[in-house]
A and B are shown apart, each in its own frame.
Chain A
Amino acid sequence: MEQASSGGPVIEFRDVSYKLPNGQPVLSNVNLQVDRGETLVLLGRSGSGKTTALKLINHLVAPTGGDILVNGVATRDSDVIRLRRSIGYVIQETGLFPHFTVEKNIGLVPRLEGWDAGRIHQRVLELLQLAGLNPAVASRYPHQLSGGQRQRVGVARALAADPPILLMDEPFGALDALTRAQLQREFLSLRQRLHKTVVFVTHDLSEALRLGSRIALLEAGHLVLVLTPQEFLRSEDPLATAYVQAFADGAIPAHGGAP
């Protein structure tokens, strides 16, 4: 699946729009490129269209206008099953299968891809270690794990078939502040080792600043700006300064409320 096509963007939005069946616009004329190996953060509040933008990449949502290109091929022309298996997907609350053990959850895509049992088992052990999990959790069910462990399993599952692209939809949103900070740190060290292209959705500026190589700010379905974290902090754009102001006012520590 990995067509190592020249040095072009791995993911490209070309004038992409998405309207609900009732005509309500969710995303309007978005143009965006994600380069190989970078972590692009989609930042925005609820209803800004950031999750929809993510789901357009693995074609869980089909654009009503424009094209999304993954490795140079329009998603509307690709085999969506193959496309999705080449893209890791992590969502909030993880979406782990409650009737599968951790091992079966992590091994899902390799199993769909027809790997033999021994190779899947080997891979699962590797991933448990990579995600900082004790191999003993392999035989447990998701409801027997803590929130942080579940999220680690979610990440391990997304990495199972070693996809070049990773989509993450507020993966750490439901965790307590300490666990979130720890998983963010591990995410950074993991990213250095694995060289994935990551698109990461969050509403939390501190997370965006910490994890992103670039931040794409969305508001009411429009892409407002795309900046590096340093540029974002210095930006004079009214919306960006509003985010920075709100962050400075209330959010030290990240979600802690008044000191």
Chain B
Amino acid sequence: MNLFHFLRQNQDQVLELTLEHLWLVGISTLLAVLIGVPLGILSARRPIWNKPVLGTANLIQTIPSLALFGFLLPIPWLGERADRIAILALTLYALLPVIRNTFTGIRGVDPAVVEAGRGMGMTDSQLLFQVELPLALSVIFSGVRIAVVVSVGLATIAAAIGAGGLGEFIFRGLAMVNNELILAGAIPAALLALAADFTLGWLEKRLRPL
């Protein structure tokens, strides 16, 4: 049980890297929600925006993560600190599930319900905040959940540019050809992803309108 021994001996560092990891994922998810939900609403409301918005988010998704970290490195303010780059990259990757699920969720609201609201004199914003968003909430939330789970995995790569997180152990282990060190990063990261998935899945169920 060498791995267990290692984790025990380095528990302070494991904890620190885990918190760093959570911070990278948390901030980037928050940003992705702040940007992605309005974009999803826009593309649901104005069909013209649908293709460019979802197309761009899709395109970002195809850039290999290591390459994206590299591309962002020379950008002035951003390149100064590795965690800024990591957060931006993770935000960009998290956008697609958030935008797509917001779009799908709002489009999925029963048209009869929206029309009844409009026919009774609700304004566009009353319809959005009192009807469409509440009814789309669990679908939007499941997009956020996907984004978080993917980000937890992706964030390990952020260690390649020195942004910290549990990837530190993995890259150090790779360099030293030390499997225990690799597992010391990989296992907590996997557990983190599972825990996030479980917690958010539970929340999602509670948000379901019926």
A160 to chain B, nearest CB (A): 9
Please choose the segment from B22-30, B120-128, B139-147, B168-176 that sits at the chain A interface, where 4 or more of its residues have CB less than 8 A away: B120-128
B110 to chain A, nearest CB (A): 8
B132 to chain A, nearest CB (A): 11
Given the contacts A141-B210, A143-B210, A95 and B113 also touching, CB distance less than 8 Å: yes
Contacts of B78 in A (CB 8 A): none
Q: Indicate if the CB atoms of B115 and A95 lie closer than 8 Å.
A: yes
Question: A115: CB under 8 A from chain B?
Answer: no
The answer, among B110, B119, B134, for a CB contact under 8 Å with A60, is B119
The answer, among B116, B121, B131, B134, for a CB contact under 8 Å with A81, is B121
**Residues 77 to 130 of chain B near chain A (Cβ within 8 Å):** 110, 112-113, 115-123, 126
- 18 CB-based A-B contacts, threshold 8 Å: A58-B119, A84-B118, A91-B119, A95-B110, A95-B113, A95-B115, A95-B116, A95-B117, A97-B117, A98-B135, A99-B210, A108-B117, A108-B120, A108-B122, A112-B120, A112-B126, A143-B210, A158-B120
**Residues 158 to 179 of chain A near chain B (Cβ within 8 Å):** 158, 167
When C-beta atoms are compared, the residue in chain A nearest to B113 turns out to be A95
Contacts of A55 in B (CB 8 A): 119
B98 to chain A, nearest CB (A): 21
B174 to chain A, nearest CB (A): 50
- A63 to B52 Cα, complex, angstroms: 32
Contacts of A13 in B (CB 8 A): none
The answer, among A81, A83, A91, for a CB contact under 8 Å with B115, is A91
Please list the residues of chain B having a beta carbon within 8 angstroms of any beta carbon in chain A: 110, 112-113, 115-123, 126, 131, 134-135, 209-210
Question: A155: CB under 8 A from chain B?
Answer: no
Q: Indicate if the CB atoms of A84 and B210 lie closer than 8 Å.
A: no
Please classify how large the interface on chain A is, using the bins under 10, 10 to 19, 20 to 34, 35 or more.
Answer: 20 to 34
In addition to A60-B118, A99-B210, A109-B121, 17 A-B residue pairs with Cβ atoms within 8 Å of each other are A55-B119, A81-B123, A84-B118, A84-B119, A84-B120, A89-B116, A89-B120, A91-B112, A95-B115, A97-B116, A98-B135, A112-B120, A112-B122, A112-B126, A141-B210, A143-B210, A158-B120
Contacts of B210 in A (CB 8 A): 98-99, 141, 143
Question: A195: CB under 8 A from chain B?
Answer: no
- A95 to B110 Cα, complex, angstroms: 8
Q: Indicate if the CB atoms of B209 and A99 lie closer than 8 Å.
A: yes
Question: A93: CB under 8 A from chain B?
Answer: yes
Contacts of B120 in A (CB 8 A): 84-85, 89, 108-109, 112, 157-158
Question: A96: CB under 8 A from chain B?
Answer: yes
